[in-house]
Amino acid sequence: MIVDLSDTLLPFELDPGEGVTVGLPGGESVEVRLVEAGARILFSTLPEAGVPFHSARTFYAFWAVVAVGGERVRLEREVPTWRSFYEPWQVGSLCIWLDAVKEIFSFLEDSTGDLAPRKAARLVVHGAEGRICPEPVHPWCPVRSEGLRIGDCYAGENCWLGPYHGAVAHGGLDVNHRPGTPLTAPITISDHYLVTSLARGDGNSRWLGHRRWSDGREWMLECENVGGLSVREHTPLNAGKRFAHGAGVHTGSREHTHFSFCILRDGVRYPVDPWMLFWQAKKDQQGTLSQRLR
Ligand SMILES: [Zn+2]
């Protein structure tokens, strides 16, 4: 079966030996086959392996070898280091993000129960022209001009799948900032609301925004620890519009907002790294700036 690339992110999971044929816009296609995938701990201060311990640190690497149209490429990542904020690999007609491998969960707990890939590796691809979606992406929250730093992610570990307390995979991306920091819609959102709300008696406030693209894929963007909404729930939200403030409530030992991102494709839910939205927003901001300077 051929899965069309279209103009939004295409997530999929593979076991070794399996491939997916990606249909390219020009009518050609290319197979992405997984050769192998794995993960290993680089360094850990956990007193007992696999048992969460306050302030313990674990650093790990993970990788996948893929064959793209017959060309073998090794994709390798590190978490939680500055390399957590990585560039996708450009291979032929595709940009490839290595989102997760199952083996990470042999040493990290799955904090939400759905972070681990169902197969050996989860990949996300888009076209080599380098966009994750057809619209400009706005910053979800203010980010320092040089970009995200791992030290900005709670205690320096809460990037996507970062090992919270050394042993628990973090299901999102934390960005430290002061209470009252504006949160703005990265893309145009068709529906949004508070899933949980402090005002309604829940333990924290969690915002969820939906966007269904013309290719049928749906993006779900979430923020936790949000302060009060500045727009009405269940109303369309334009890209770049402020909708709430961050680091509002119950932020633990660092004031932060927790961002998460999930793609629904053909009825299957793929939790993926929110970094891709921050990456595109930075690229789009740089593009706007260079246009202005021209
Ligand atoms: Zn978090």
Q: Each residue of 70-92: pLDDT tens digit?
A: 899 999 999 999 999 999 999 99
Ligand 1 mean position, distance from CA 172 (Å): 6
How many angstroms does the Cα of residue 141 sit away from the middle of ligand 1?
Answer: 15
Q: How many A from CA of 267 to the centre of ligand 1?
A: 26
CA dist., res. 265 & res. 256, Å (int): 30
Residue type, 111: S
Cα-to-centroid distance, 271 and ligand 1 (Å): 14
| 73 in Cβ contact with 121 (< 8 Å) | no
User: Helix or strand or coil: residue 74?
Assistant: strand
pLDDT at 202: 85
Residue 256 CA to ligand 1 center (angstroms) comes to: 8
Residue 2, C-beta contacts closer than 8 angstroms, at least 6 positions apart: 21, 22, 23, 29
Cα 84 to middle of ligand 1, angstroms: 15
Q: How far is the CA of 261 from the centre of ligand 1 (A)?
A: 12
Structure tokens at 244: 């709430």
3-state SS, 177-219, equals CCCCCEEECCCCECEEEEEECHHHCCCCCEEEEEEECCCCCEE
Give the number of other CB atoms < 10 A from CB of residue 143: 17
Distance of CA 114 to the CA centre of its chain: 14
Helix (H) or strand (E) holding 174: strand 173-176
Residue 224 Cα to ligand 1 midpoint, Å, equals 8
Q: Within the chain, which residues score under 70 in pLDDT?
A: 289-294
Whole-model pTM: value is 0.96
Place of tokens 């681990």: 116
Domain boundaries, the chain: 2-293
CA of 252 to the centre of ligand 1 (A): 10
Cα(135) to centroid of ligand 1, in Å?
27
Burial class (CB in 10 A: 0-12, 13-18, 19+), 174: buried
Cα(185) to centroid(ligand 1), Å: 19
The CATH classification number of 2-293 equals 2.70.70.10
Distance from Cα 254 to the centre of ligand 1, integer Å: 10
Cα 225 to ligand 1 centroid, rounded to whole Å: 9
Kindly give the distance from the C-alpha atom of residue 170 to the centroid of ligand 1, in angstroms, as a whole number.
6
CA 174 / ligand 1 centre spacing (Å): 5
The alpha carbon of 263 and the centre of ligand 1 are apart by a number of angstroms equal to 19
- pLDDT of 287: 79
